[in-house]
Amino acid sequence: MFKVADIIEEAQIGGPQIRMISFAKELKDKVQTTLLIPKINNSYLIDFCKKNDLRVIELPINKISKNKLLILNYFIFFFYEIYLLVRLFKNEKFDLVHISGGSWQFKGIIAAKICNLPSVWHLNDTYMPWIIRAVFSFLGKWTTAFIFASNKTKDYYSKYIPNNIPSYVVPATVDTAKFNPNVKLSSELKEKEGCGKILVGTVANVSPVKGIENIIKIARYFKNESNIKFFILGNVPNTQVNYYNKINSLISKYELKNVQFLKFERDVRSFLKKINIYLCTSVSESSPISIWEAMSMQKAIISNDVGDVPLYINNNINGILVKNNRIQEYITALETLINDKEKIKNYGINARNTVKKYLETSICSNHQLEIFNRVIRK
């Protein structure tokens, strides 16, 4: 059994964090993983890790940010934080450093290089500002291997990484035993809400990239329809309070009674169980775990054709794809399903079968384990 340091510089609960924890939990008998996470605003993430019985070390890691004070702290403490990582790597005698998240997470790569440890950079975003791109292009040469969360992510980064460094695609995964449509759980979404209605839901951290304003536009079209209601379950990051207020202003402006934000739940299964249709209006995605989880819960999917979603959503088989976030296409897709509940049921069954075949946690985790073994042997 070898020892892995798994670093993430962002403490919110999102796709990269869930993926990191899922893999660590699945490989617990084969890999001794220590999760290294920021000390600041990490209560949800800490609870999530402890719930899954994973070893965690909290570090004073500053995340790069547009906030002037935070960006100042990032640069002031940059080399001190690398020193802390180097000291930790040596004391813990790790065999491999795994960096989860974005292209801006440089410190783990630098510390691994100083300690002469193999490193794997696990990426899921598809955009880099020019300054990040310049640093990434340099530090990428120090990486032993890359893992990408989607083919779209790999295509994007292929322009900036050396051809001689191995790269792999490992999508976000779902534990289909946990995300099971027969699970019995309670939810803030009450049974009475579903009485005779089609419930359309999305799970997303509230931000412009998730295209929440598109849901408002769609809900506005169905404003006078009593048989459909929209729900948004998601955390509001501190940096997105203004955006959240903007969305609520639109809801008030259009006097929408058919759309509602729900309090964030760490366990989204009960919410997914109650809804009929899962709606994704994201502007950009890589390997969206929220969609995979909804598919595992046997929900019909309507999604923008972003990231690797078209690889797993087959039109009129397990869902409906929308081109370029066209609002009218969302409306048409919803009208199609609203008028054919048997189709909602069949799409959901097919969606779960797709996840079990391609995105099951055990399948993807074993692929990642193979990559780790290759990197260490190299």
Q: What is the full per-residue pLDDT of the chain (378 aa) written as tens digits? A: 899 999 988 777 777 888 888 899 999 999 999 999 888 777 778 888 888 889 999 988 877 766 777 778 788 888 999 999 999 999 999 999 999 877 778 999 999 999 999 999 999 888 888 888 888 899 999 999 999 999 999 999 999 998 899 999 999 999 999 999 998 776 556 554 655 689 999 999 899 999 999 999 999 999 999 999 999 999 888 889 999 999 999 999 999 999 999 988 778 999 999 999 999 999 989 899 999 999 999 999 999 999 999 999 999 999 999 999 999 999 999 999 999 999 999 999 999 999 999 999 999 999 999 999 999 987
Residues 248 and 310 occupy one common structural domain:
yes
Residues 7 and 148 occupy one common structural domain:
yes
Residues 106 and 70 occupy one common structural domain:
yes
Number of domains, the chain: 2
Q: Is residue 26 part of a domain?
A: yes
CATH code at position 298: 3.40.50.2000
Residues 165 and 209 occupy one common structural domain:
no
Handedness of CA 192, 193, 198, 199 (dihedral sign): negative
Q: What is the pTM of this model?
A: 0.87
Residues 341 and 364 occupy one common structural domain:
no
List CB contacts of 110: < 8 A, sequence separation 6 or more. Answer: 82, 139, 142
Q: Is residue 137 part of a domain?
A: yes
- Please list the alpha-helical segments (H only) found in 232-326: 241-253, 269-274, 289-296, 309-312
Q: Is residue 31 part of a domain?
A: yes
Range of the domain at 19: 2-173+360-377
Residue of 199, 213, 187, 359 lying closest to 288 (CA atoms)? 359
Q: Is residue 186 part of a domain?
A: no
Residues 319 and 251 occupy one common structural domain:
yes
